[in-house]
Each structure stands twice: as structure tokens, then as C-alpha cells.
Amino acid sequence: MNSMNQEIQVTGATIWLTGLPSAGKTTIAYELAGRLREEGHRVEVLDGDEIRTFLTAGLGFSREDRHTNVQRIGFLADLLARNGVKTLVPVIAPYADSREAVRKRHQASGAAYIEVHVATPVEVCSERDVKGLYAKQAAGEISGLTGVDDPYEEPESPDLRIESHTQSVQESAAALHALLAERGLA
């Protein structure tokens, strides 16, 4: 084993970034992932869009399907975290009971779990409209948009709340990194 491999940090954790579409979850996750990799951590980002394409294809956007999607992602995140990977999960997960079930899965397995609320107001998200979802919803082309005509239950007591509309991506990632360091995970 060379000295480089000995430097790798093997304490896993799931860091779930919840928030509205276009809140900045994925951007912050990738920014933090880069920083953690530079420090020698094993890191994976479970991007919600990629997961829906490859792992949960066939699920729709009903409450039941959204719950199933979150539970499957939670299972995968827990598996990775238990195996020494910092697993960043920028996934909306609009329902509190779904997020709580994922937290309980991690508690039962002993894997660290951190919930981050990227608390960007819907007005800012609809201006950003990264994927054009708000425009499509406004035009009547789609319905069931989280935070507009479908529920989003904000976390009551997340481990960290990020106001991404008042700070840069780097500042947001740094705040999350500081929390990880405080908990002995970075």
C-alpha cells in the first residue's frame, strides 16, 4: 500500500440536500464533492435526475412513487455510507415522512446522516428555472411541480439550512464543509 492510499479518509456519511427544483442542491453538492475529493475522501453524488434515469425509471411523480424513489435512493446512500463513501444526495424528497424514514434507516445501520435544507424561496427558484420546469408549469404543459402545485414539506429541524440566494455556491459548500468538520466527517 503506498502512502497516497493511506491518506484516504474512509468514514462514510450521507449528506442529503433537500429543497425546491432549481434551489441549488446539485450545484452545491458538486462543489462540496470536489473539495472533499481533494482532501482524499471517497465521494459519490447521487444526482436525482441520473437516479431517475438509471435506478428508478418507471416511477412517476405521485406521492407514492416519490416516496418509493426517496426510499430507494436512501437505501443506496446508506449502503455507500456504510462502506466509507461520503454520499451527497441532491434530491428534492418533498415529504417529511420519506426523509424521516431515510434518517431512521441510517440510524439503524449506524451510518452518519446529515440533512441539509437548501432553503431557496420559490420566487428565486422560478427565476433560475434551470430545467425550464417553472415555465412549463406556468404554461400549463406540466403539473405536479414541487413547491408550486405539489407539496413541499420543509424540514423543521435540518442539520443545516443554506440560504443559497444570499451567498455564493462556494460559501454554501464551505458552510456544509464546516458542519462536516465539526462532526468529525471532514
For residue 5, the model assigns a pLDDT of 45
Indicate the number of domains in the chain: 1
Binding-site residue positions for ATP: 19-26
Residues in a beta bridge with 116: 17, 160
Q: Is 8 a domain residue?
A: no
131 grid coordinates = 430545467
User: Where in the sequence is the domain holding 27, given as residue range(s)?
Assistant: 13-183
The confidence band for 55, taking pLDDT boundaries of 50, 70 and 90, is confident
Binding-site residue positions: 19-26
φ/ψ of residue 59, rounded to 5? -80, 140
Q: Which of 119-123, 147-151, 178-182 has the lowest mean pLDDT?
A: 147-151
Q: At residue 3, does pLDDT exceed 50?
A: no
Q: Is 2 a domain residue?
A: no
- Among 144, 121, 159, which Cα is nearest to 66's? 144
Q: For residues 95 and 144, what is the distance between their CA atoms, to the nearest angstrom? A: 14
Instruction: CATH number of the domain at 94, please.
Output: 3.40.50.300
Q: Is 39 a domain residue?
A: yes
81 grid coordinates = 455510507
Q: Is 7 a domain residue?
A: no
User: Which tens digit of pLDDT belongs to each residue from 14-48?
Assistant: 999 999 999 999 999 999 999 999 999 999 999 98
C-alpha distances out from residue 36 to 13, 77, 101, 104, Å: 12, 17, 27, 25
Residues in a beta bridge with 161: 117
Q: At residue 6, does pLDDT exceed 60?
A: no
> Helix H segments across 22-162?
25-38, 48-54, 63-82, 96-109, 122-128, 133-138
Average pLDDT, the chain: 92
For residue 152, the model assigns a pLDDT of 95
Q: Is 138 a domain residue?
A: yes
Q: Is 1 a domain residue?
A: no
User: Which tens digit of pLDDT belongs to each residue from 58-114?
Assistant: 898 899 999 999 999 999 999 999 999 999 999 999 999 999 999 999 999 999 999
Q: Is 135 a domain residue?
A: yes
Q: Is 113 a domain residue?
A: yes
